[in-house]
Amino acid sequence: MKLFSNAEQIVTCNTNGVNFKKDKDFSELEVLTSHAIIVENDLIKDIIPNQSIKNFSDYEIFDLKNKIILPGLVECHTHTAFAGSRADEFKMKLDGVHYEEIASQGGGILKTVNAVRNISLTDLVELIKPRIDEFISQGITTLEIKSGYGLNFENEIKLLHAIKILDELYPIDIVPTFLGAHTFPKEFRENHQVYIEEIVNKMIPHIAKNNLAEFCDAFCETSAFSSEEVDLIFSAAKKHGLKLKLHTEQFNNIGGLDVALKHNAISVDHLEVLKESDIGKLADSDVVCDLLPGVSFFLNYQFAPARKLIDAGVVVALSTDYNPGSSHILNLHLIMQLAALKMQLKAEEIINAVTINAAKSLGRNDSIGSIEIGKKADFSIFNTEEYPDIIYNVGRNLNCMTIKNGEVIYQRV
Ligand code: NIG
Ligand code: FE
């Protein structure tokens, strides 16, 4: 057995069995002092006051003096599986060209699609590895990765295979999402129906049969898929047992939200242009709103109405949306800091958003996302004595140790 003792704080994100946070609970955080965590195998066996520890010799001891323990961070929305660079487009953006304008000229997502189609599976896996190492160094123990830069059968499957290989190679859990409906590939720009049939009749059945994805996502946007098209794709995905997520209300409101709610999607992501009149619909459901402040920051664009959503009682999570075009930000801590500085979230809300609520966004909140007896022993250890320091140290990574399933998988000396 292992004993994680002497930490200045254990930030548990305990929900007393609810396994997500909204309303008043979202701004609250259980913080234990003078407590230790007992881990047996991969699970939290007990959380006890320091003074009640008896036989120290029973344990392998981790002395966390001057440090704090948080649940392993959960990164619930990324496009980490990409090849190539879009630095040239970043320069265009700095010169004032809009993200959507670049996309309509054949750049944007389609530029990355070209790079992905031209790389081998082995090289792709090698390319992604350092990105995963970087997430782990920040205390992330569960990481969602989407496909979406292949946009044909062969290359979407190649991306999902790469994600599967990485999940097997790395100790963290990597959650695969199929995003074949990211945008229309060049060859089907004028013939949406053929590409949708390819997704519905070929890609989804193959992916489901071979367990290559847990979620199906889509981009509901004027430049990508209409709500009717998403409806067709979601119906097929559901029929094959995939859970649903949707990129929606990023630049336009074209009905994505209603389709997502109709199909009981587990999350709706982006919401930068969410209509105020739609907030009630979200509050009436327990759909998770994955907010992505890095995108607004990177594109110099409006932020999602986070405060209004939280005050209405919506379930809110936060994520990097790490991708080469709209949020080239491989840093969940910076996202947490942006949420504070640009979306007016409180430190407690931010921590709940990247732990228990992000776990709900991945449908894994019954086993991860908080430090509670019986849950997985996934921890992020920070080199500080108080949790608000994580937000205050803008641009710095205070994580010094990452524990997954009770094992130390990263340690900074
Ligand atoms: O979440 N909105 C669509 N997809 C990504 C951007 C992907 C890209 O530009 O490569 C996003 O922002
Ligand atoms: Fe995204």
Q: What is the pLDDT of residues 346-373, one digit of tens each?
A: 999 999 999 999 999 999 999 999 999 9
pLDDT in tens, 218-273: 999 999 999 999 999 999 999 999 999 999 999 999 999 999 999 999 999 999 99
The alpha carbon of 30 and the centre of ligand 2 are apart by a number of angstroms equal to: 31
CA distances from 98 to 152, 241, 249, 302, 324 (A): 27, 37, 17, 13, 15
Which domains can be identified in the chain, with CATH numbers? Answer: 2-71+369-411 (2.30.40.10), 74-361 (3.20.20.140)
Smallest-distance ligand from the CA of 294: 1
Residue 407 pLDDT > 90, yes or no?
Answer: yes
The alpha carbon of 76 and the centre of ligand 2 are apart by a number of angstroms equal to: 10
294 in contact with ligand 1, CB cutoff 6 A? no
Question: For the whole model, what pTM was predicted?
Answer: 0.98
The alpha carbon of 70 and the centre of ligand 1 are apart by a number of angstroms equal to: 29
Identify which of 264, 199, 261, 262 has the alpha carbon closest to the alpha carbon of residue 225.
Answer: 199
Question: What percent of the chain has pLDDT above 90?
Answer: 96
Task: Compute the distance between CA of residue 393 and CA of residue 388 in angstroms, rounded to an integer.
Answer: 9
Smallest-distance ligand from the CA of 267: 2
Q: What is the pLDDT of residue 103?
A: 87
Residue 55 pLDDT > 90, yes or no?
Answer: no
Contacts of residue 199, defined as CB under 8 A and 6 or more positions apart, other chains included, come to 180, 181, 233, 236
250 in contact with ligand 1, CB cutoff 6 A? yes
Residue 82 pLDDT > 90, yes or no?
Answer: yes
Residues with CB under 5 A from ligand 2 (ion): 321
Residue 100 pLDDT > 90, yes or no?
Answer: no
Residue nearest to ligand 1 atom 1, measured at CA: 321
Atom of ligand 1 nearest to the CA of 221: 2
Residue nearest to ligand 1 atom 3, measured at CA: 219
